[in-house]
Structure 1
Amino acid sequence: MTQTPEAGARARPVLLTVDDDPGVSRAVARDLRRHYGERFRIVRASSGEEALEALRELTLRGDRVAAMLADYRMPGMNGIEFLEQAMDLFPRARRALLTAYADTDAAIQAINLVDVDHYLLKPWEPPEEKLYPVVDAMVETWAASPDAAVEEVKLVGHHWSAPSFAARDFLARNAVPYRWYSVEENDGRRLLAAAGAGPDDVPVVVPPGGPALLAPTEAQLAAAVGLTVEPSTDFYDLIVVGGGPAGLGAAVYGASEGLRTVLVERSATGGQAGQSSRIENYLGFPDGVSGGQLADRARRQAARFGAEVLTARKVTALEVRGPARVVHFADGGSIAAHSVVLATGVSYRTLPTDGADGLTGRGVYYGSALTEAAACEDQPVYVVGGANSAGQSAVFFSRHASCVTLVVRGSSLEASMSHYLVQQLSEIPNVVVRTGTTVTAARGGDHLEEIELADGTGRVETVPTSHLFVFIGAEPRTDWLDGVLARDGRGFVLTGPELLVDGERPPGWRLQRDPFFLESSVPGVFVAGDVRSQSVKRVASAVGEGAMAVTLVHRYLEER
């Protein structure tokens, strides 16, 4: 690894270049140093392996990496393979691929495969026109992200502690870089002692430059790591409740069309889709995209248009106050707006199995829980469910586990899972599909140790496992709207034509028109995505409904 020797350079963030051609490597480092040398430390490597080693050293020192530029054609490990592995070390660093004209197809593939931000054609002369604008855009995006502010977050906990898992999952889903320390290791014990805490106080969070937090709430954790939790004002044009694909779509289109927009999310943007390891049927991503990457892009896009994103704020009530629509929070606060888009999605149903509740977060997980991937290395893993989310999770964990067993209550996968995913699962040798099977018990001490499986014949089998991931349908969780909005028998919110009974408008409807297609029984309150009755449970349709809801918001506001 070669780097500039200037004193004090370590404190500056890093621009990393990787190229096996010494002439090209020197040229790109020279051009970067000339333009960015005062603000950034330029590090160059001659291979993907050398660059990964350099990144590991940077993580140990707590350094920050703003951007990485990697040559596509390198022996041993090409640029795409390097950037894919580098994402695990510095997920918030911006990424660009250096490529010749003949390799532009590979560069475009990389944009989808590993979330590459840009590609640069070689040669890039003059750099003022072809290199610096691209690097400027990457640096600006990195600087606007939480990366620089929260790089040194330390999280101390116990692997089989449910609150510790919840804190790790919250940080990961919000794309906040953190370093994990186990209370069973020396570094973890030292951090606990420095914080004046003990093993029973986990999780302990040590943010950069701030006091240690002992077993913080999600709101306290969000504020400590630099996420926005407080609104900038008390009145908006549009409040979006829920940060899944539908909510993010509404926030992007609302803010881009000039509406003062705030998105309120109780946990992390992305919703259930954000927990997906790979979405392969979303338009425009032929090689698939992870739910986390898609959510991160949408969140940054909404912020760029001026939308506020509030995290760790639970909405508990909706109130109609004259022309205003008021949203109340669990902590007693509230905000108001001319209009509201409800995009709260659905939550996974809990497993109705003896012992499962007590082991939640300690071996039993709802959703993919991607932070558990390392702990599943060479271990047997069980996934419960027969729809796409369960299939995507099985594909993901098959790369880590010794065997992944998909436990399906139905007689086949074809009735509930997309064809491409059924085919993909059939081609993975360490994935086993058990149809006509249910989990009837979960047992363990401080963590899950075994589960009980029953098939349709009544045969019961006990199998050892420490990880059970559950995807067994979903519920809208809309009890907080009781008495305010009309819902169907399962709790999904009724909209548009569904509100008309024998041609009559819903009770209390005062406007001289029928409700718009996505409008609820309260004028100015629209519904998008999975929480809407009769919606199509797909990411693309949710995003479309979010955008459509904003169009209807404009029509509603024009009536006022």
Structure 2
Amino acid sequence: MAEAPGPEGPRPILLTVDDDPAVSRAIARDLRRRYAEGFRILRASSGAEALEALREVKLRGERVAAVLSDYRMPQMNGIEFLEQAMDLFPGARRALVTAYADTEAAIQAINVVDVDHYLLKPWDPPEDKLYPVVDSLIETWRALGETTVAETKVVGHRWSAPSHAVRDFLARNSVPYRWFTSDSPEGRRLLEAAGAGDDDVPLVVPPSGTPLKSPGLAELAQAVGLSTEPSGEFYDLVIVGGGPAGLGAAVYGASEGLRTLLAERKATGGQAGTSSRIENYLGFPDGVSGSQLTERARRQATKFGAELLTTRDVVALRAEGSARVVEFSDGSRISAHSVVVATGVSYRRLAAPGVEELTGRGVFYGSAATEGPSCAGSDVYIVGGANSAGQAAVFFSRFADRVVILVRGSGLEASMSHYLVEQLAGIPNVEVRTCTEVVAAHGEDHLERLSLRDSATGEVTEVPASYCFVFIGAAPMTEWLDGLVLRDAAGFVLTGPDLLVDGRRPAGWNEDRDPFHLEASVPGVFVAGDVRSASVKRVASAVGEGAMAVSLVHRYLDRS
């Protein structure tokens, strides 16, 4: 029998899920008989109920040692449940409980969601058929060193841009935190304990207990345990940008033996990481959130040994002999044999009076999912007509009274995927206003009203609004590459065949070959994802280009 953990906080949890009440009671009874002294036994009657329980456990910072789920359940089968449970507790061990006729499902579960074991019903006697499996799950869980999730506390003002920036940073980096407004009883207690006042918010109390007053993101990242410093000075591959293309390159680079480092200035995932639901990504028929996809990719990259740095802003890239030198904003440098540029794009700023002043105080760029619950009872305005805007509208429709999509064109069909257009049409509290643009934002402490212009008639109307989320255009973040690589008129980086003019290679090219397909005008510098000129602006293509870039890096290194 596996030894039960010692007294290090609340007892870890063994969770069982089965929609048959008799079976549910029986397995819980057998588990309590053997493990009640060291573990807390929870049971749920459906996948949805179990996920809700896991979310509450996550918020409380407790540990889950193992999850045992029945396969045949309505609405959500055991494989689908375990796949979502992985995102909440990736370290928990997983077992599928099946009937003999469902052993194929168990094999599928092992391949799809990395299930550790499967159990056949009935498991009588448990000493032979249940307990050895659970003992193995517990032993594996303990060997991997799963620990209590420490809680970070954030105190701030509701309509504060710095407070929003801190919450958004923590959420996008999958750091568990609890939010308190500065005027709440607990918020006031935390401020008083830290010797802080209203001018010191946001106040962050990390697991160490040392309070941070209005911290910068780099200071915050270090305090919550994110990696910010490289372990070495020279790498085989340095990746700049942590969106889908960068994460794809990190996974393939590290898994193929390259010493790989990824530097991201804010949070991995890029724009895709803020998407509430991506429903056309291969292999996820029920959709996947951007944060779930990002967290899985991040775990996968680090499993293979890639270093992932956050809050590292790359400001320059230089070619020094055979080395490619990356310079950070603090003046430090690292070198590599090769570099993959995967900085993606940023949303263009909305050029209208009042918008800049109210950014972070009602006006947000991107989905800002942390604001979802706060939108309850409000009207939400979404500016933009591409997929990211549509996904945000679906997400905020769960909270807001009404979601209004503002589109400059005559419809959504030209810029949004068909499945999203149809989905939006079926949501009763989503409205689409075409030929409409925001010409001004108004408010004192936060957004209160928007001025909208009908481009067909020229009429300007003013509407009450507390929330406006902007998804317009795509601006490449390539200023740091000035003077090094060739870019097109819009700033996207030219690569491969696009660098050849009348068959001639770009000026300064010193190789006896044409540039590889994803290679920039400097040998050894590759480009993947949205930042590349003429790229397909989709998550799947970005991931594919990240993988393809690594294969080209190998070809480059083999010739060097």
Trace 1:227-238 onto structure 2 (pairs within 5 A): 227-238=226-237
185-194 vs 67-76, which moves further: 67-76
1:41 aligns with 2:44: no
Aligned to 1:498: 498
Distance 2:499 2:56 in 1: 60
Amino acid at match of 1:467: Y
Per-residue CA deviations over 1:26-65 (Å, capped at 9, x if unaligned) read 536745985x778x63322354698689768756765344
Unaligned runs of 5+ in 2: none
Aligned to 1:182: 181
8 Å Cα contact 1:92-1:175 kept in structure 2: no
Deviation at 1:535, TM superposition (A): 0.5
Trace 1:144-223 onto structure 2 (pairs within 5 A): 148=147, 151-223=150-222
- SS of residue matched to 1:448: coil
8 Å Cα contact 2:205-2:211 kept in structure 1: yes
Aligned to 1:272: 271
Distance 1:506 1:259 in 2: 28
Distance 1:331 1:194 in 2: 33
Deviation at 1:498, TM superposition (A): 1.0
249-258 vs 67-76, which moves further: 67-76
Amino acid at match of 1:181: F
Amino acid at match of 1:388: N
Deviation at 1:292, TM superposition (A): 0.8
Aligned to 1:372: 371
Amino acid at match of 2:291: G
Note the aligned Cα RMSD (angstroms): 3.4
- SS of residue matched to 2:262: strand
CA 1:200–1:29: 2 relative to 1, 3 Å: farther
Distance 1:75 1:510 in 2: 63
Per-residue CA deviations over 1:194-236 (Å, capped at 9, x if unaligned) read 1111111111111112411111111111111111111111111
Amino acid at match of 2:168: D
1:470 aligns with 2:470: yes
Amino acid at match of 1:436: C
Per-residue CA deviations over 1:386-416 (Å, capped at 9, x if unaligned) read 1110011111111111111110001111111
- SS of residue matched to 2:507: coil
Trace 1:391-430 onto structure 2 (pairs within 5 A): 391-430=390-429
Identical residues among aligned pairs (%): 64
1:295 aligns with 2:294: yes
8 Å Cα contact 2:13-2:42 kept in structure 1: no
8 Å Cα contact 1:17-1:25 kept in structure 2: no
Distance 1:232 1:504 in 2: 41
1:262 aligns with 2:254: no
Deviation at 1:76, TM superposition (A): 11
Amino acid at match of 2:351: P
1:126 aligns with 2:129: yes
- SS of residue matched to 1:271: coil
Aligned to 1:306: 305
Amino acid at match of 1:126: K
1:100 aligns with 2:103: no
CA 1:140–1:551: 2 relative to 1, 3 Å: farther
Amino acid at match of 2:386: A
8 Å Cα contact 2:16-2:68 kept in structure 1: yes
8 Å Cα contact 2:16-2:24 kept in structure 1: no
8 Å Cα contact 2:67-2:92 kept in structure 1: yes
8 Å Cα contact 2:32-2:41 kept in structure 1: no
Trace 1:319-358 onto structure 2 (pairs within 5 A): 319-358=318-357
Amino acid at match of 1:262: L
Aligned to 1:539: 539
Unaligned runs of 5+ in 1: none
Amino acid at match of 2:232: T
CA 1:365–1:137: 2 relative to 1, 3 Å: farther
8 Å Cα contact 1:44-1:51 kept in structure 2: no
TM-score, normalised via structure 1 length? 0.88
Trace 1:8-87 onto structure 2 (pairs within 5 A): 8=7, 10-19=9-18, 21=21, 24-27=24-27, 30=30, 41-45=39-43, 47=45, 62-71=61-70
Distance 1:230 1:37 in 2: 43
Deviation at 1:16, TM superposition (A): 2.9
Deviation at 1:6, TM superposition (A): 10
8 Å Cα contact 1:398-1:431 kept in structure 2: yes
Aligned to 1:488: 488
Per-residue CA deviations over 1:496-541 (Å, capped at 9, x if unaligned) read 1111122221111111111111001111010000000011111111
Per-residue CA deviations over 1:126-150 (Å, capped at 9, x if unaligned) read 347755666666777783xxxx475
